[in-house]
A and B are shown apart, each in its own frame.
Chain A
Amino acid sequence: MRRVAARFCRMAILIIFAVFTLGPIVFLVGGSIMGDEEIKSYLGPVLSGQEGYAVWRLIPLYPTLRHVVEVLLDAPEFFHMFWNTAKITAGVLLGQMILAVPAAWGLSRYAFRGRKLIYQIYILLMMMPFQVMMLSEYLVLDGIGLVDTLWAVILPGAFSTFSVFIMYRFFAGIPEDIMEAARVDGAGEWQMFLLVGVPLGKTGIVSALLLQFLECFSMIEQPIAFIKDKTLYPLSMYLPEIDVGRTGFALCASLIALLPTLFLFMAGSDYLEQGIAASAIKE
């Protein structure tokens, strides 16, 4: 009996916290299919300074797809920015796939001279928040003339050391005897990387890329600093700029903007978990 009560209590606490973390999504879903009139009647105090306090209803009384249609068909700028974000993300991920994966492989499997130093530099850079790197990045981007282009956001992201760090952990976990067996079979270094490393380190690669993907989709500081041209703004800078009066539209746009990350999250939550875990397990 006591066990059941304890179990119930535990579930209750967990569910409360789950509501805390999931609440915004429920809010977005409800708001996306709510009509303007209904939204106004609930949010009057916030939107138009009425007396009292705003209230909310998770499931609309009068659901409508108007805002969905509005976002999908009537807001080309939304898509423009969505693809800006997509370009940034694609650029960053591609760069990491081509450069960071081998780098992590090289760092984790080979004991060349300077390996330790490079590893230290990577850890150091990984720890530095954007505040610290902002000026450095700006100076070099300005020097190459990339400021105010998407490259200004893509290139520093593509050389992010954090994903190297994650993948390093997974590559390092591959047993040495598998490598030896491959070597005995006469595989070259590159073949070993592609045929042994990549398949076995898949979890690490996917989780690192996934984390990077999430990072790219909510990127804010870098575009603020390096992009002035409005046509290059990513989606994360568009959503907060929608008029207060278009709450329903904004909620729906937010929901749609959230879908790609949410879908990838759902599909790759296992990888994600492992990636996160990898960042904490000691070498």
Chain B
Amino acid sequence: MKQFFAKGFVVLLAVMMVFTILSRAADSFLVARVFAETYSAKKIEHIVNTEASVQKNLEFPVMTEPGLLVRTVYVEEGSVVKQGDVLAQLDEEHLEEQMGLLSDEIKTLRLQNEAIAENRALAEEEKKRQAQRAREDYDKAIKKNEENLRRAEEEVKQAEDAINRFAGGAGASMSQEESEAKKTQLWQAYFDKKQACEEVKRSGADEVEAAARALEDAQVKGAADRSSQINAISIEQKEKTLEAYQKLASSCGTVTAKEAGTITGVLVAAGQMTGDTAAFTMASMVGGIRIAALIKEEEARYVERGDVVTVEKNGTTYEDFSVTAIRQSADGSVEIMAESADHADEFLIGERAVIRIVKQSELYSVAVPLSAIHTEQGKYFVYVLDQKPTVLGTEYFTRKTEVRIVDKNSSYAALEEGTLGRDNLIVTESTQYINAGDRVRLQKS
């Protein structure tokens, strides 16, 4: 019995030793090993990476003179042309013909203008003579009028004098009745003369006015006639057209590209007349490269006009593109445009390229790796490590801390300040699923 317990004691110690090792092993197997770090200040980078295609940029017309017969069209839509390439050939005979017609028309118009000039010289001579006469009539009328008026005023004066003389004693010898009669007679004569004078004045003024009108009429120029000027203009136009025709003729009637580019529209056809509108439309690369891509709606949040776009094509990277337009499309995706003013000769319309837009946020003071964020019922939280002195030494225990995400990308999340302490170790990775309050082993990274 005693032997049994003495042996039992030794066995017991051995068993305890074995289970010490086993429980340690079980512990290290079961306890989650975690990586943890404190939060850091970070800018959150948002990267939009997608395939894009090169778009036509500025489109412009290739004009030619209207009304010319097109003989051959050498290009079609999508053709890439160099500067000076022949796009179409006009019919030269028709051109010559048109040139002949035009110079005839110009000749005719010139002759017309000469005739108009001669007629106008004759008419002006006549007009001048008539004006001369009117002037003379007018002067005469004024003179005569003045004479008549002077005479009438003389007579008024005489009548007045007669009244004054009578009043001064000439009539003293006469009886009262006689003098009264005489006085009345005299005053009557005075009033008559006065009236006659007024009459003369009025009629004289009328005559002068009539003469003045005649003079005015004579001085007025003849009816306005601009036809010669109009003719001059059309001569000028026709001469220009002619000149253009001559130029065309000198280049054998070819329509050429003035810049390198791509034909985007052919508006003429062989055997038809050229119209007033463009003969071709072209997109030139000279104005810059435009690239379009479709991105997802959630990515679009991070793209703004003016953002720098990196374009990668055939192993070459171009850094000087920037976003010029962002358009929401009906299916939920967003179309963005990016342009560069350069590299005209390195891109072709319709080519595919990979674009990348890297958008850096403001500097967030609290940022953690995205792997630290857990979610539960729509709420986000992280596990913070608490140090506690335990029997087995200082150990770490997890504590759930709810956080609000301000911004995030595929590797980092920025959190609202205030919930996490500067020294808090935040679990970023764990070998096992962990719960709040779990004991964990911190791996030094």
A238 to B2 CA separation, bound complex (whole angstroms): 30
Stretch at the interface among B86-94, B153-161, B191-199, B386-394: B386-394
Task: Pick from B2, B20, B24: contact of A266, CB below 8 A.
Answer: B2
A260 to B11 CA separation, bound complex (whole angstroms): 10
Contact, CB under 8 Å: B5 / A79:
no
Cβ-based interface call for A83 (8 A): yes
Contact, CB under 8 Å: B12 / A259:
yes
Q: Which residue of B lies closest to A78 (CB)?
A: B23
Question: Digit string of B18-29 for contact with A (CB within 8 Å is 1, else 0)?
Answer: 011011101100
Q: Which A53-110 residues sit within 8 Å CB-CB of chain B?
A: 72-83, 86
Cβ-based interface call for A191 (8 A): no
A231 to B30 CA separation, bound complex (whole angstroms): 21
Task: Pick from B1, B6, B12, B22: contact of A72, CB below 8 A.
Answer: B22
Chain A residues with Cβ under 8 A from B2's Cβ? 266-270
Q: Which A18-74 residues sit within 8 Å CB-CB of chain B?
A: 72-74
- Once A76-B392, A260-B13 are accepted as A-B contacts, the answer to whether A267 and B5 lie under 8 Å apart by CB is yes
Cβ-based interface call for B380 (8 A): no
Chain A residues with Cβ under 8 A from B392's Cβ? 76-77, 80, 231
Cβ-based interface call for A230 (8 A): yes
| Number of residue pairs A-B, CB distance < 8 angstroms | 74
A270 to B3 CA separation, bound complex (whole angstroms): 12
Chain A residues with Cβ under 8 A from B9's Cβ? 260, 263-264, 267
Q: On chain B, which size bracket covers the interface?
A: 20 to 34
Q: Which residue of A lies closest to B391 (CB)?
A: A77
Question: Digit string of B371-391 for contact with A (CB within 8 Å is 1, else 0)?
Answer: 000000000000000000111
A86 to B393 CA separation, bound complex (whole angstroms): 18
Contact, CB under 8 Å: B19 / A73:
yes
Contact, CB under 8 Å: A77 / B390:
yes
- Once A80-B391, A260-B9, A263-B8 are accepted as A-B contacts, the answer to whether A75 and B16 lie under 8 Å apart by CB is no
Chain A residues with Cβ under 8 A from B16's Cβ? 79, 82, 260
Closest CB-CB distance, B17 to chain A, in whole Å? Answer: 9
Contact, CB under 8 Å: B390 / A79:
no
Q: Which residue of A lies closest to B9 (CB)?
A: A263
Interface majority SS (helix, strand, loop, mixed), chain B: helix
Closest CB-CB distance, B390 to chain A, in whole Å? Answer: 6
Chain A residues with Cβ under 8 A from B23's Cβ? 72-76, 78-79
Q: Which residue of A lies closest to B1 (CB)?
A: A266
Cβ-based interface call for A233 (8 A): yes
Closest CB-CB distance, B441 to chain A, in whole Å? Answer: 12
Contact, CB under 8 Å: A76 / B27:
yes
Closest CB-CB distance, B28 to chain A, in whole Å? Answer: 9
Closest CB-CB distance, A22 to chain B, in whole Å? Answer: 16
Chain A residues with Cβ under 8 A from B1's Cβ? 266
Chain B residues with Cβ under 8 A from A76's Cβ? 20, 23-24, 26-27, 392
Question: Digit string of A250-283 for contact with B (CB within 8 Å is 1, else 0)?
Answer: 0000000001100110111110000000000000
Chain A residues with Cβ under 8 A from B393's Cβ? 231
Contact, CB under 8 Å: A83 / B20:
yes
Chain A residues with Cβ under 8 A from B6's Cβ? 263-264, 267-268
Contact, CB under 8 Å: A73 / B26:
yes
Q: Which B11-54 residues sit within 8 Å CB-CB of chain A?
A: 12-13, 16, 19-20, 22-24, 26-27, 30
Contact, CB under 8 Å: B390 / A230:
yes
Contact, CB under 8 Å: A79 / B12:
no
Q: Which A196-229 residues sit within 8 Å CB-CB of chain B?
A: 229
Name, among A80, A264, A267, the residue most crowded by chain B CB atoms within 10 Å (CB to CB).
Answer: A267
* 21 contacting pairs across A/B (C-beta < 8 A): A73-B23, A74-B26, A74-B27, A75-B23, A76-B26, A76-B27, A77-B391, A78-B23, A80-B392, A82-B16, A82-B20, A86-B13, A260-B9, A260-B12, A263-B5, A263-B8, A263-B9, A264-B5, A267-B2, A267-B6, A270-B2
Residues on A close to B: CB < 8 A? 72-83, 86, 229-231, 233, 238, 259-260, 263-264, 266-270
Residues on B close to A: CB < 8 A? 1-6, 8-9, 12-13, 16, 19-20, 22-24, 26-27, 30, 389-393
The 6 closest A-B pairs by CB, nearest first: A267-B5, A266-B5, A267-B6, A79-B20, A77-B391, A263-B9
Extra contacts besides A76-B27, A267-B2 (7): CB < 8 Å: A74-B30, A79-B24, A231-B389, A231-B392, A264-B9, A267-B4, A267-B8
